[in-house]
Copies of this chain bind each other. A is one copy, B any other.
Amino acid sequence: MELAEGKQKFIEAWGRIGSEWGINRTMAQVHALLLISPDALTTEEVMDELNISRGNANMTLRDLINWGLIEKQHKPGERKEYFAADKDIWNVARQVAKERKKRELEPMLKVLKELSTVEGDKNDKAYATFNKSVTDINKLANNADSMIDTMLKAEESWFWGSVLKIFK
């Protein structure tokens, strides 16, 4: 396969995966484009490569910065802003885990904690069932939370080494 075709496929695939995970397609595509670009790109270049409007490109680039996945750069003597992705995939994975933990897992844990204070009669089937589900999900979510904390601190080789060693 030719490089040009490969690029297209990569951008498309990354966009599809993104939207299956609640990340908007354009955002994932811009990220993909920057991941495979050796040099930082301008807003204009992103617009042209992906055929999107200026407004869209601007907002999407800002979102990617907020997710900690890309950064603004400036070239000496130039006025335009350039954008470059963090190319370390392990950093990308950690950054995404970190953001989703903050945006989703933590609020969920807060709700679950609150819900585990619901009082009731243990002989009431409705209460017992509610309580069991809430408690069990709470435990699972806390385990996931701990695992993510470790992942955030870990080096890639160490993390997968340790995890996969057990799983042989």
Contacts and interface: CB of A to CB of B under 8 A. Distances in A.
A127 interface: yes
Contacts of A10: 111, 115, 130, 133-134
The copy count of this chain in the complex is 2
B167 A133 contact: no
Nearest to A143: B160
A49 interface: no
Interface stretch (A16-24, A53-61, A64-72, A74-82): A16-24
Interface string A130-168: 101110110110010011011000000000101110110
Interface residues of A, number: 58
Interface of A: 1-3, 5-7, 9-10, 13, 17, 19-22, 35-39, 87, 89-90, 93, 103-104, 108, 111-112, 114-115, 117-120, 125-130, 132-134, 136-137, 139-140, 143, 146-147, 149-150, 160, 162-164, 166-167
